[in-house]
Structure 1
Amino acid sequence: MKIRSVFSIILILLEAMTIQSCSTSNDTVTASELDVYKDSVSINTLDFPISSGSAVVGIKCDADWNAEVLDTSWVNISNHAGYGYADKWSYIKVAVSRNATTKRSTQLIISSGNLSKVVKINQNGATMDSGDPFESAYSLVSNIKLGYNLGNTLDANPDINQSWFNPKTVYDWETSWGQPITTQAMIDAITTKGFNIIRVPVTWYPHIDTDGNVDEAWMNRVEDVVKYVLKSGAYCILNVQHDCGAKDASRKDDAGWLVCDANRYSAISTRLKSLWKQIATRFKDYDEKLIFEAFNEILDSKYEWGDPTDANACMIVNKLEQDFVDAVRATGSKNEYRNLVCNPYGAGSTIPKLKGFAVPNDKHPNHIVASIHSYDPYNFCNDAGTNNISVFDSSCEKEVSDVITRTSNRFDDLGIPFFFGEFGAIDEKKSMSERIKYAKYAITQMRAKDTTGLWWMGLYDRNKNTWYESEIVDALLGVSSK
């Protein structure tokens, strides 16, 4: 019995020593520093766009640490604990799911001993916050079934120096490229067919005086046409069209003044902001179905349609679109929340053009939409002369799919919705059956990426008020209605 008692005492002493040893060991590894970094900068917040995404953050801690996220319903972290190092960092990958609701926040907490670091995780939302009276950009794109461009009308800009053109009224400009005067009946026929958004391209420079003031008669006529579209129940996109784009060297007028030229940015910016201030002021009390688009297919000072060789070109595009957003928002009223459309360089979809695009800063970030123009494959959609593609085959399908996929991926990364502001197989000399193949395939691929497009003109004879390409319309609407 005595021997057993001695052993019992020894075991108790050993247990006590073990506990003391562990306690002493834990005390010696308590962290002396703890911080969280992203891109080598200490952070207190981590911001994400609407789309799903992830970020890797570094943990600087010289002792073992633990990590937790307070809301795991939309945030996951790659590891919840790690070792501490005196001479290097540990890392955590923070991943968020796509946010289909309002903006949201939670906390990432890193702790070690008595030290802790809290990083607030923020994510923008696809829907508006309470108090926002307009539908979000995502909701807008979701509600668009199919669109139509009212081209060669208010965007017409024949050279005033040509002998055949002697305009006396705004209607002379409106009809100068062969389209008739726009009427309510014409717009109603288009929207009754099933198109629920109409883009109204407008060229402004021939109607602006030397002091930068838009001619009142022209502004009134633009407003008439906008009213026709809105009265029909459709969305209306109002833009700045041939003030930018390529300029024929023989022209002596001001076509193509709106270019992304770093050397002339200050003057161009001032002019653009003045124009949009006037447009936005006139339309500031219109409801959410009116949408503004910064400009059409802006090019650099060399008027390059391909990827610009000017390294500053995309940067200037982004600055001009920021000017547009700021000018519109500053006019107040319903323009504070209006959905605004911005395009990459040339409204193009090549990788350099998409990568060069930056989302403008906006006080209401749920109201920016991107727009791309695509007539791809070019040699099928357009009259390419001896290089025409006459059959819409699997290689054509691949080109269409590639454009839509890379565009969707880019804007999903940026956290904004997009649509195709212009598309179409517009070479009417191609066979109807092949153009129908294109129409069905293109709109199906768009729908698979939760977007849609606006066909460029054609389809409807506005002079005769008849649908002369109803087979294409039926193909487009047949997919869009599913």
Structure 2
Amino acid sequence: MSDIQPLAHRRARGRGLGRLAALLTALAVMLSLSGTAAFGAADVHGTALHPVVHVPAKAIDAVAQMQPSWNLGNSLDAPSETAWGNPLTTKATFDTIAAAGFRSVRIPVTWSNHQSATAPYTIDATFVARVKQIVDWAQADGLYVVLNIHHDSIEWVSNITKDHDNVMARFDSTWSQISEAFKSEPRTLLFESVNEPRFNDVTDAQKTAYLNELNVSFHTVVRASGGENATRMLVLPTLGGDGAQPLLDDLSTTINSLHDSQLVATVHFYSYYPFSANLAGGTLYGDIAQKYLDDSFADMHDTFVAKGIPVYLGEYGLLTSPNYFHPESVERGEQLKYYEQLGYAARKYGVTTALWDAFNYLNRATLQWRDPDIFAMIKSSWTTRSGTASFDKVFVSKSAPITAESLTLNLNGTHFLGVWQGSTRLLPGRDYTVSGTTLTFTASALTRLVGDRAYGTDATVQARFSTGVPWNIDIVTNDNPTVAAATGTTDGLTIPTEYRGNNLATMHATYADGTNAGPLDWTPYQTFNETFSPDYPNSTIVLTPLFLASLRDGDTATLVFHFYSGQTATYKVTKNGSTVTGTVG
């Protein structure tokens, strides 16, 4: 509460500066942005640092030109550039990104790792030079660049609620130094005020006021620094990067108050939470997750784009996938559906999207895409739609006679062309039938495809459509999975499991009285990989210390493991002190 008086004083003082900055900005825009601006730069030897890129005068047109975008995550935002597993960034990194079709990059930077924590908050000149080198490499490939202050937001900016004046002094100093270092860069460089700003232990109204103060001060400092910064596009975030409508409205109020045509709104999007993290039963990319995405993009459009203010979706992806160090939390085909719809929504609603890539998509050591099929879907979504289906697997029981099996096609505005196995087209009528959007594989075709009926994927076929990428369908032989008794400690319980061609989807955990067992007490479906995790190579399911620590001592929890085939396995777990016992349900 002690910070409210300085905050009110600063906001009152900022209004006069804001009016002056707005007048200067409007004059600069009229003088230098009357048409399409062309910018180029060269070093002292005359070597081109940036190709001549024609930047549209209107910010909304320029940001549209930035689609699609990519994040250089976990590099300059890490404690040191290689601290979080990525190699040093090179010019070849951006050569690869540009060649893949990206038109812009976001370069997250945590300045506090290289900055004095006390006044005058000097940033190390060697680090500034390194950031500038990387920014210039990206621009040399014709890419727009968004430069921000990143984990600073949680490392010290969030302390504004308890140390207002010092935080504001550091924030202004940081942006003053960045502005000075990059003031000659062309307008293909954008500044983003702060990443996902969050403030704890204050009211919502206070959070809104603090973020408004930061955004307004950022605008004032950058515009006052002169050079190209007088007309540089500036990116302002919502609280936490959240796209909830009240937060969009708060940001809209701030942007409108600044009277600056070169402002850009930014939010982040990681899908419907239960799906993105695979908890609370969100195993499939169903109607709720699809509606959540469309509604979110529609809100961005209606609040900003429809009013001439561009939206830069500074990060998108899934909270848990793809993760190449753990089993996939989100089923792969369901991921593909999400990326397909997101690309379509971006085109439909005029939003520029930046893929968050900490290491998950581009292997920066080899400069190869880790999963070419996922990247193919993402890339295809930039320009067209792809057909999908209700699932990417057809399960065929090993212990029962083979019968016809069906999937539902999601045409997404395309036309179904047929089914192929490699270069061989399956025959309509004999191998499959289509009735409306129901694709049915005949028993004879499945018999041929499963061959000797070994557990797991025996064949893969492709449903092809008039546009976009094909939809791969695995033909999988399976049977009911089984689990076996085990003992362990609260450090972990390893359950012997015969998967028999199945993939684990989720775990339902309850006590006999009907209450939920596990750290998520509001849902029986616990979080994939955080509380349980499949170990397919070693034929086990692992219950984690987080889950076991949450169990009530002496009270038996019933676990139901759900698999994507629709089959289940029931298990009972009892914790007594540090000992954990598991038995077959």
Is the structural similarity TM-score above 0.5?
Answer: yes
The residue correspondences of 1:255-334 to structure 2 (distance < 5 A) are: 255=155, 257-259=156-158, 261=160, 264-302=163-201, 309-334=203-228
The one-letter code of the counterpart of 1:272 is: F
The one-letter code of the counterpart of 2:102 is: F
Specify the alignment match of 1:462 in structure 2: 364
The one-letter code of the counterpart of 1:478 is: S
- Of residues 343, 361, 375, the one that matches 1:443 is 343
- Of residues 261, 273, 279, the one that matches 1:366 is 261
Specify the alignment match of 2:104 in structure 1: 197
Cα distance between partner residues in 2 of 1:177 and 1:318: 32
- SS state of the match for residue 170, structure 2? helix
The one-character-per-residue Cα deviations of 1:64-97 (angstroms, maximum 9, x if unpaired) are xxxxxxxxxxxxxxxxxxxxxxxxxxxxxxxxxx
Q: Is the 8 A contact 2:161 2:200 kept in 1?
A: no
Cα distance between partner residues in 2 of 1:363 and 1:128: 18
The one-letter code of the counterpart of 2:234 is: L
Q: Is the 8 A contact 1:145 1:481 kept in 2?
A: no
Specify the alignment match of 1:91 in structure 2: none
- Of residues 74, 82, 107, the one that matches 1:175 is 82
- Of residues 278, 282, 293, the one that matches 1:400 is 293
Structure 1 residues 477, 291: CA separation in 2 closer, same or farther (over 3 Å shift)? Answer: same
Q: Is the 8 A contact 2:60 2:308 kept in 1?
A: no
Specify the alignment match of 2:274 in structure 1: 379
Identity %: 29
Pair member with larger Rg: 1
Q: Return structure 1 stretches of 4+ with deviation > 6 angstroms.
A: 361-364
**What's the offset of the Cα at 1:267?**
2.5
The one-letter code of the counterpart of 2:67 is: K
Kindly indicate whether residue 34 of structure 2 is the aligned counterpart of residue 129 of structure 1.
yes
Cα distance between partner residues in 2 of 1:204 and 1:183: 20
Give structure 2 stretches of 5+ with no counterpart: 1-25, 39-54, 323-327, 385-585
Specify the alignment match of 2:22 in structure 1: none
**What's the offset of the Cα at 1:128?**
4.6
- SS state of the match for residue 365, structure 1? coil
Count residues in correspondence.
327
Q: Is the 8 A contact 2:223 2:230 kept in 1?
A: yes
Specify the alignment match of 1:472 in structure 2: 374
Kindly indicate whether residue 126 of structure 2 is the aligned counterpart of residue 217 of structure 1.
yes
The one-letter code of the counterpart of 1:301 is: N
The residue correspondences of 1:73-88 to structure 2 (distance < 5 A) are: none
Structure 1 residues 260, 312: CA separation in 2 closer, same or farther (over 3 Å shift)? Answer: farther
Cα distance between partner residues in 1 of 2:344 and 2:33: 28
Q: Is the 8 A contact 2:161 2:199 kept in 1?
A: no
The one-letter code of the counterpart of 2:271 is: D
Kindly indicate whether residue 150 of structure 2 is the aligned counterpart of residue 241 of structure 1.
yes
Q: Is the 8 A contact 2:123 2:177 kept in 1?
A: yes
CA RMSD of aligned residues (A): 2.5
The one-letter code of the counterpart of 1:274 is: S
The one-letter code of the counterpart of 1:399 is: Y
Cα distance between partner residues in 1 of 2:100 and 2:81: 24
Cα distance between partner residues in 1 of 2:241 and 2:159: 13
Structure 1 residues 362, 394: CA separation in 2 closer, same or farther (over 3 Å shift)? Answer: closer
- SS state of the match for residue 354, structure 2? strand
Cα distance between partner residues in 2 of 1:315 and 1:277: 22
Q: Is the 8 A contact 1:202 1:240 kept in 2?
A: yes
Higher RCO structure, 1 or 2 (CA under 8 Å, sep 6+):
1
Specify the alignment match of 1:150 in structure 2: 72
Query: More displaced, 135-144 or 271-280?
Result: 135-144
The one-character-per-residue Cα deviations of 1:422-479 (angstroms, maximum 9, x if unpaired) are 0113512123321111011011112111112111102111122211122222222223
The one-letter code of the counterpart of 2:352 is: T
Q: Is the 8 A contact 1:132 1:337 kept in 2?
A: no
Specify the alignment match of 2:282 in structure 1: 389
Cα distance between partner residues in 1 of 2:348 and 2:315: 18
Q: Is the 8 A contact 2:305 2:350 kept in 1?
A: no
Cα distance between partner residues in 2 of 1:264 and 1:410: 33
The one-letter code of the counterpart of 2:355 is: W
Kindly indicate whether residue 317 of structure 2 is the aligned counterpart of residue 424 of structure 1.
yes
Cα distance between partner residues in 1 of 2:36 and 2:87: 43
Q: Which has the higher strand share?
A: 2
Structure 1 residues 351, 447: CA separation in 2 closer, same or farther (over 3 Å shift)? Answer: same
Structure 1 residues 130, 265: CA separation in 2 closer, same or farther (over 3 Å shift)? Answer: farther
Q: Is the 8 A contact 2:216 2:258 kept in 1?
A: no
